[in-house]
């Protein structure tokens, strides 16, 4: 009887030990996989991570190019919304950032490449014929006519 109890307790103890070690390993693996600002991740560069570390925003690695009838890389607001929804680096869920997301992109612009000191469109409207843009040379947000032209850096969530 003593031998069976000892084997049972030893096996049970081994199971608990292995289960504990696997939880520690999974925890450290998930912590290592948590993206940080500036990391290349899922087709872009991380520029915002929420408090949980599990969700955030990624900016495309480059501004959108090719605008009909405008200077290369500049879009009116309507064209900006279309351009931001393009298929980029294997992903099709890009979008034009809203005013707050664009401000966050401005704050972490040093982590991204190719950001120009000019205006970038947001998806946020201020009036029926105006939308918000971010000046990447000063940090100021302004509302401009939707027919004006600005650059586009699409983002996606993770």
Quick: pLDDT tens for 3-35.
Answer: 555 565 556 555 555 555 444 444 444 455 789
pTM across the whole model: 0.77
| Residue in this structure with the two tokens 């970038």, named with its chain if needed | 120
Residue identified by tokens 């925003």 is 57
- 108-122 pLDDT, tens per residue? 999 999 999 999 999
Question: Which of 94, 93, 34 lies closest to 64 in space, CA to CA?
Answer: 94
CATH of 40-157, one of 1.10.10, 3.10.100, 2.60.40, 3.40.50: 3.10.100
Residue count (the chain): 158
Tokens of 66: 């090719």
Q: Tokens for 19?
A: 């289960």
Q: Would the pLDDT of 39 be above 70?
A: yes
So where are the chain's domains?
A: 1-33, 40-157
C-alpha 81/C-alpha 90 separation (Å) is: 19
């Amino acid at each position: 009887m003593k031998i069976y109890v000892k084997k049972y307790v030893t096996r049970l103890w081994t199971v608990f030990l292995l289960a504990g070690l696997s939880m520690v390993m999974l925890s450290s693996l998930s912590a290592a996989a948590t993206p940080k600002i500036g990391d290349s991740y899922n087709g872009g560069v991380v520029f915002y991570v929420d408090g949980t570390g599990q969700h955030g925003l990624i900016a495309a690695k480059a501004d959108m190019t090719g605008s009909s009838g405008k200077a290369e890389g500049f879009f009116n607001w309507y064209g900006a919304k279309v351009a931001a929804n393009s298929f980029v680096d294997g992903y099709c869920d890009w979008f034009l950032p809203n005013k707050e997301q664009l401000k966050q992109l401005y704050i972490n612009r040093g982590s991204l490449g190719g950001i120009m000191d000019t205006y970038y469109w947001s998806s946020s409207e201020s009036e029926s014929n105006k939308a918000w843009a971010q000046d990447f040379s000063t940090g100021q947000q302004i509302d401009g006519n939707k027919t004006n032209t600005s650059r586009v850096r699409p983002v996606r969530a993770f």
